[in-house]
Amino acid sequence: MRIIAFGDIHMECAGIENISGLSNADLVIITGDFTNFGGKEDASTILDTIRRINSKIYAVMGNMDKASVVDYLDELGINIHGKGFVLGDLGIFGVGGSNPTPFNTPTEFSEEELGDIVNKAYQYVTHASIKVLISHTPPFNTAADLIGSGVHVGSIAIREFIEEKQPDFCFTGHIHESRGEDRIGRTLILNPGMLKDPGWIEFNRQDDGSYIARLN
């Protein structure tokens, strides 16, 4: 099992050709921000490019994506915002958008709403042995949510969820300058930064049945 995850594309697909073995991945996960304040048409341009390489995709929307992007992901049957699925021993579940920003972006939620969404998604995967949270917005007060001024801007609700439920992995994004990894308890948090830099996550099942996730 090999999964490739990336996001923060922002209409720039140039980084995709740098992802080694993308066409052979068992699954591709998009962690949000296909567009820059764009809708279905912009998102379809990005998704068509990715699907020509690998069509096995699941995704959440980012805060920069309009509501029509969510509808489009639903039409394609690949949306995991507030949802999840089980693949073998893996339970993959998601929450898109972000907590409020100063920029009035298209898809923002209150902390209470984010908490409700991620807990709803979690119900799809409660019996999976290994749980992977796909959250466009990173958890608060980690190496994954630090902006250039030194302020942490991630979601308190996502952090509280991780502290309580301890999924094995959290793949996130949103804060471009905070590429890196951290842990909350046993949960490994990975933010690959923007695709164009390039940045992505590679997630592999080992021969002993364990999983390893790393930044590329």
* pLDDT (tens digit per residue) in 46-90: 999 999 999 999 999 999 999 999 999 999 999 999 999 999 999
In terms of residue numbers, what domain contains 112? Answer: 2-215
Q: Any idea which residue has 């009035």 for tokens? A: 104
pLDDT value at 17 more than 90: no
Q: Please, are residues 45 and 75 in contact by the beta-carbon 8 Å criterion?
A: no
Q: Given strand 2-6, what is the order of strands in its sheet?
A: 57-59, 27-30, 2-6, 201-205, 211-215
What does the pLDDT read at residue 79? 98
- Determine how many CB atoms are found less than 10 A away from the CB of residue 97: 26
What does the pLDDT read at residue 18? 86
Single pTM value for the model: 0.98
What CATH number does residue 133 fall under? 3.60.21.10
Q: Which of 83, 163, 74, 158 is nearest to 125 (CA)?
A: 83
**The total number of structural domains that make up the chain:** 1
- Determine how many CB atoms are found less than 10 A away from the CB of residue 104: 9
Task: Give the pLDDT band of residue 15 (cuts 50, 70, 90).
Answer: confident
